[in-house]
């Protein structure tokens, strides 16, 4: 298994508590960007690469592999999309998007 595994040492936790294993996975380069884009999926590899702007094909391939292994994304006839588990994760992440827009506006006067 190439993804962080609960119960085994991961970044931030010698014991591998589940939340730290998840944060280790989500903290990988482009993992959150791919998940964020897939909420509007499905996308082919090329479409997903375009949505992620500057991601290299090798990094995208690695992140897709990780997210598939973690049952967050899957490949379908139409392309890559979030699984039911991935949909549940994005539902939990969306409020962070709302919070970050407020934070950016209040702290840095940035509006979208």
Give the per-residue pLDDT at 39. 96
In a domain, 8, yes or no: no
CATH number of the structural domain spanning residue 38: 1.10.10.10
- Coil, helix or strand for 97? helix
The DSSP code sequence of 27-44 is TSTTHHHHHHHHTT--B-
Please report which confidence band the pLDDT of residue 1 belongs to, taking 50, 70 and 90 as the band edges.
confident
Share of the chain above pLDDT 70, in %: 100
Rounded to whole angstroms, the Cα distance separating 17 from 67 reads: 19
Would you say residue 112 has pLDDT above 80?
no
Over range 18-32, report the average pLDDT.
Answer: 96
**Average pLDDT over the chain, rounded to whole?**
96
Q: Is residue 47 part of a domain?
A: yes
Asked whether residue 112 is domain-assigned, the answer is no
Print the domain residue range for 57: 18-105
Number of domains in the chain: 1
Per-residue pLDDT tens for 69-90? 999 999 999 999 999 999 999 9
Q: Could you tell me the two tokens for 76?
A: 């379908």
Rg (C-alpha) for the chain, rounded Å, is 15
């Amino acid at each position: 298994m190439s993804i962080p595994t609960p119960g085994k040492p991961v970044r931030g936790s010698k014991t591998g508590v589940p939340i730290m294993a998840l944060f280790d996975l989500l903290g990988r380069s482009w993992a959150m960007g791919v998940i964020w884009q897939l909420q509007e999926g499905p996308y082919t590899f090329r479409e997903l690469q375009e949505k992620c702007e500057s991601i290299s094909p090798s990094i995208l391939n690695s992140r897709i592999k990780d997210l598939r292994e973690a049952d967050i994304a899957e490949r379908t006839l139409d392309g890559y999309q979030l699984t039911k588990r991935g949909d549940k994760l994005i539902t939990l992440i969306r409020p962070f998007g709302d919070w970050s827009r407020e934070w950016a506006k209040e702290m840095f006067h940035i509006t979208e």
